[in-house]
Amino acid sequence: MPKFPDPTKDYGASPVAGAIDVNQLPVAEVPPEPIYQAPVSESSPHIEHNNAKEMAPEAQLSGSPFRNIIPIGIGLVAITILIVLVAIIIPKFTKKTTQATLNYWGLWEPTSVMQAVIADYETQNPNIKINYTMQSPKNYRTRFLSAGNQENSPDIVRIHNTWLPMVKKSLSPAPDSVFKVADLSIYYPIVQKNFVSANKVYAIPLEIDGLALLYNDDIFKETGATPPSDWNTLRKLAFDLTKTNPETKIIERAGVALGTTTNVEHWSDILGLLILQNSGNPGKPSETAVQDALTFYTTISAKDKSWDVSQPNSVYAFATGTVAMILAPSWQVSEIKAINPNLNFKVAPAPVLPSANYAWASYWAEAVPLTSKNSEEAWKFIKYLSSPAVLQKMYAGASQIRALGEPYPLISLGASLANDPLAGPYISQASNYVSWYMADRTYDEGVNDEFSKYYEDAINAVNGGSTIGAVLKTLDEGVAQVSAKYPEAK
């Protein structure tokens, strides 16, 4: 069983022994109706033999029992043609195709990225209209759940990979004719774990993401450091890279952004990863493995002083060069480059524990609300979006407006990003992705926020001087309450 090293070990710039472990139809031509003529007698006083003169029409028809056949025949032909026109041809030009409009509530991707693939689909499916809007993530879950079947309610939404316990009853699973569970074998394993329930597929991702290590390459070159692959090495390196003003004791350059909650982006993801790597269950804080992970996390700030609450937001600190390492998802790579285009940084896989080579997943997937009136058409559109060609087109479009697109969730497309210095590390660990209900930045006002709040309080208390034992009872009781509220969150 993985075990963290003794957190009481002092780092005097020397490593800790041992690694930490955790198209119209033509109208047929109608032959002309033959004109009946009565037989002509050679003794007829009106006609000369072999040189008959033409009779007036009235004379030809007068007294004939068939004098009405011609107009009747013409009328019948006209009626037949009219019936054909009305029943077959005209409807082809006048019949209106029933059109379905799908309201697509997107997240993260602007309309400029989605419009090209939407236009292609509408051209291929003229009876479908897609209304795409990029929504705010704030209160997103509660907003789409409360939209019901109003005029502009969504037919397609995005859900986080941890949301199924909260939203499954409000979703329409994919018809087997569109997606079966077996179809998910082309995705990384975490996808089936997150979005399959009772042999039904509830969501399909257009991306995969998680935590990776971002490090300042200039600082690393200056010190001859290499990116740490395990937690013990990371801790020791962070200690070495930290610069503190000897007089004020203020950290001028932090080694790594870890140990606190208020100024560390994705602290709950990081702690969740540490617990899982250490064979712990975040739903049972009383486990020693969970307590050890908590101790290790807080040691970075409380004991090593490689980071503290006086530091700015961790992403901003990294972008401005005042912290050497952070752990973050791929989308924040673009945010960092937007803050400081000149920052020389690289990306590596997140640290592991040797006997538990897990990585942390936090990503989004497309789903169909139960209130959608066009659920089958919505699922067909999701299937289109999830095809390799469309995913690549969206990635290329996103890469025109930011540093990188959303990493591919399909195993077959992994090779195309393997050598990408920014996206590659996220893909390289995708087969080992795990997750739990401690994901940051989901804004779910539910399972993630509630579990994380109790852990946040515990970390803050420890950083304030309390022991793990002193905060354990409150943490354990709080987590138990959330678990009872969301029984499927296991």
Structural domains present in the chain: 101-209+363-431 (3.40.190.10), 212-360+446-485 (3.40.190.10)
Interatomic CA distance for residues 214 and 381, integer angstroms = 35
| DSSP conformation letters of 110-146 | -HHHHHHHHHHHHHH-TTEEEEEEE--STTHHHHHHH
Element (H, E) at 414: none
The sign one gets for the Cα dihedral 111, 112, 117, 118 is: positive
Q: Exposed, middle or buried by CB within 10 Å (0-12, 13-18, 19+), for 474?
A: middle
pTM: 0.82
Kindly report the backbone phi and psi dihedral angles of residue 253, in degrees, each rounded to the nearest multiple of 5, phi listed first: -145, 120
pLDDT tens track of the chain, all 490 residues? 566 666 656 655 443 333 343 343 333 343 444 433 433 333 333 333 333 333 343 434 344 444 455 555 555 545 555 554 445 544 444 444 568 999 999 999 999 999 999 999 999 999 999 999 999 999 999 999 999 877 789 999 999 999 999 999 999 999 999 999 999 999 999 999 999 999 999 999 999 999 999 999 999 999 999 999 999 999 999 999 999 999 999 999 999 999 999 999 999 999 999 999 999 999 999 999 999 999 999 999 999 999 999 999 999 999 999 999 999 999 999 999 999 999 999 999 999 998 789 999 999 999 999 999 999 999 999 999 999 999 999 999 999 999 999 999 999 999 999 999 999 999 999 999 999 999 999 999 999 999 999 999 999 999 999 999 999 999 999 999 999 999 999 8
Q: Exposed, middle or buried by CB within 10 Å (0-12, 13-18, 19+), for 283?
A: middle
Residues 324 and 236: beta-carbon distance below 8 Å: no
Kindly report the backbone phi and psi dihedral angles of residue 78, in degrees, each rounded to the nearest multiple of 5, phi listed first: -65, -40
Place of tokens 């509530």: 105
Residues 358 and 211: beta-carbon distance below 8 Å: no
